[in-house]
Structure 1
């Protein structure tokens, strides 16, 4: 085990150096048949594991780690802790991971303004940190040279949402303009108050429409905290207020988009009365809704790509290697994954249907 061998070094050695020397010693011991394969211990702190996308991402990380164990002959111990939406809970969990001297921390932070405190604690313990999916303030990432971010640019997902709606608005065979006034009436389901991804997805989805010359009118908007049941409640209230005059639902993620569809179906809206709904993430339930025709489209957030990049980065950091040699880094800190628009046409094309 790396922890046993690492204890032979004084704490004045940087963790990466100690891990590198430990790996050399372990390689010799393994060749002699007298030691177990080395173990990489990764603490994974998520904001809310019941979030459909985060749950999918964790599953991908676990699957890829198992594959790398077979491929590289290295044991990878993932300890996933669930902050349950509380920064206080997550901070306590990360404190425990640091006290146990994990090799790398992967953090899907609850409150991005708390990143500085976590980074300082990790730096003191010389444990590198990989933030993912929920981007901290840029200045915080530069507090220490062993802090990174893996994710996708939120504004890109907003642009792609807007493009999906624009294509549908211009499709005369499936008219969105129910009242014929030339204005797209929409409601907005936002993720969290003040959350960067929520704000950017909202801004760029609407900006893409107006930039293409579409006149829009926001009937209502509210946060639903990325949650399907909260979105159902919000949408039910709006349908009672505005009836079938809602022509589109712009949702910051798929869970809330599906919640809006639930409300429409629960209240008995017909197919012609249903608004056009778009989401973000391309979760399995959302893709099924696209195939059924209840969800107009979504934007694929690459869970497999994020998980794979996190794992490569963790392995490089644990070995004391330069991360830029393994992954394309932007500004020495960021690994960006592209979004991809997903509609029924794209799904059929992927399946060879068109």
Structure 2
């Protein structure tokens, strides 16, 4: 009889534990809060070695950990690298769908191919938060559970132009080194077709010309956001144009740093001004050391926070329209900050 009671007790305990596990409830240990649910957020990146994109995901993981420490939800952030392959990214989304993820966050390999991802997610009724690479407007209208987090690309181009314009107005010889009344420049562009690359280039040049500053383009080419490619392009331009280059505009900081390396190895007597976008720590150091005239901070923390806030709200059945900064029910675009030698110390301190 005692044996039967013991077996019944074991069976009852097993059933209770299994029931708790099925409901995603953790047993309370000491004074720690229990998790009442497990949230799964899948993140697929076009390339994990993109410096700015990897910064966003690091911030995303930190934000999720802080939220999890509140003790209400167990939060799983699964970040995978598509390595520039749309096929890889499609397969990764398939896995997230098969494993019943609550939300899928996508940094598209090809922003024009978002419909494939959207159809997969819509069939499974899993919301999608796109980031950094904005799908075309027609795709964003395909479903009411699609969101996008990025930055105000027009503003970044305008602010980048502003750095050169301010230097020109302060002392035009700083920029117009040959004194011919116009600025000879080269432009290192991001990936072809990326909305930020197109917009940053357009608004940078347009802003300067609208202010009456005459420009002469010596060369422009894509370096796909990559340091090494920018170094190679810049090395060739130095051979072609030498001291004629007065300004090097770069769609991002990693390319700007690649250009600087080429300039440092060139032996040029008159080095051009280099300006970037993103506010990477190494770029801020370059501004501090006088190797760059300035950069534009593209706030990765704010973007990571926006991605998480949307995903968390959706996963917990909250009101997504209550998420701060959401526009048109699906867009969050963060502002930029201009950085030069005059204020770089403030931002270097914040990066520590």
TM-score normalized by the length of structure 2: 0.88
Which residue number corresponds to residue 345 of structure 1?
Answer: 342
Measured at CA, do residues 291 and 76 of structure 1 come closer, stay the same or move farther in structure 2, by a change above 3 Å?
Answer: same
Task: Output the aligned Cα RMSD.
Answer: 2.4
How far apart, in 2, do the equivalents of 1:238 and 1:341 lie? 27
After superposition, the C-alpha distances for 1:60-99 in whole angstroms (9 at most, x for unaligned) are 1111111111124321111101111222221221122112
SS of 1:341's partner is strand
Alignment of 1:250-265 (within 5 A): 250-265=249-264
Note the residue ranges of structure 2 that are not aligned, 5 or more in a row. 1-17
Which of 289, 304, 307 aligns to 1:292? It is: 289
Measured at CA, do residues 275 and 113 of structure 1 come closer, stay the same or move farther in structure 2, by a change above 3 Å?
Answer: same
After superposition, the C-alpha distances for 1:164-202 in whole angstroms (9 at most, x for unaligned) are 111112221862111110010000101112221111100
Which residue number corresponds to residue 277 of structure 2?
Answer: 280
After superposition, the C-alpha distances for 1:89-123 in whole angstroms (9 at most, x for unaligned) are 21221122112111110111111111111111101
Measured at CA, do residues 277 and 215 of structure 1 come closer, stay the same or move farther in structure 2, by a change above 3 Å?
Answer: same
How far apart, in 1, do the equivalents of 2:248 and 2:82 lie? 29
Alignment of 1:180-329 (within 5 A): 180-270=179-269, 273-329=270-326
How far apart, in 2, do the equivalents of 1:250 and 1:226 lie? 13
SS of 2:224's partner is coil
Which residue number corresponds to residue 160 of structure 2?
Answer: 161
CA contact (8 A) 1:313 1:327 kept: no
How far apart, in 2, do the equivalents of 1:172 and 1:239 lie? 25
CA contact (8 A) 2:34 2:71 kept: no
C-alpha displacement of 1:34: 12
Alignment of 1:15-164 (within 5 A): 37-164=36-163
How far apart, in 2, do the equivalents of 1:222 and 1:292 lie? 27
SS of 1:226's partner is coil
After TM superposition, the runs of 4+ consecutive aligned structure 1 residues lying more than 3 A away are 33-37, 348-352
Q: Which has the larger radius of gyration?
A: 2
Single out whichever of 283-292 and 233-242 deviates more from structure 2. Answer: 283-292
Measured at CA, do residues 122 and 30 of structure 1 come closer, stay the same or move farther in structure 2, by a change above 3 Å?
Answer: farther
SS of 1:259's partner is helix
CA contact (8 A) 2:33 2:72 kept: no
SS of 1:300's partner is strand
How far apart, in 2, do the equivalents of 1:194 and 1:141 lie? 17
CA contact (8 A) 2:60 2:308 kept: yes
CA contact (8 A) 1:30 1:37 kept: no
Size of the aligned set, in residue pairs, is 330
C-alpha displacement of 1:326: 2.7
C-alpha displacement of 1:269: 2.6
SS of 1:44's partner is strand
How far apart, in 2, do the equivalents of 1:37 and 1:222 lie? 52
Note the residue ranges of structure 1 that are not aligned, 5 or more in a row. 9-21
How far apart, in 2, do the equivalents of 1:283 and 1:34 lie? 37
CA contact (8 A) 1:248 1:275 kept: yes
Which residue number corresponds to residue 10 of structure 2?
Answer: none
How far apart, in 2, do the equivalents of 1:263 and 1:34 lie? 54
How far apart, in 2, do the equivalents of 1:55 and 1:191 lie? 16
SS of 1:314's partner is helix
Measured at CA, do residues 202 and 132 of structure 1 come closer, stay the same or move farther in structure 2, by a change above 3 Å?
Answer: same
C-alpha displacement of 1:218: 0.4
After superposition, the C-alpha distances for 1:318-337 in whole angstroms (9 at most, x for unaligned) are 11111111323211110121
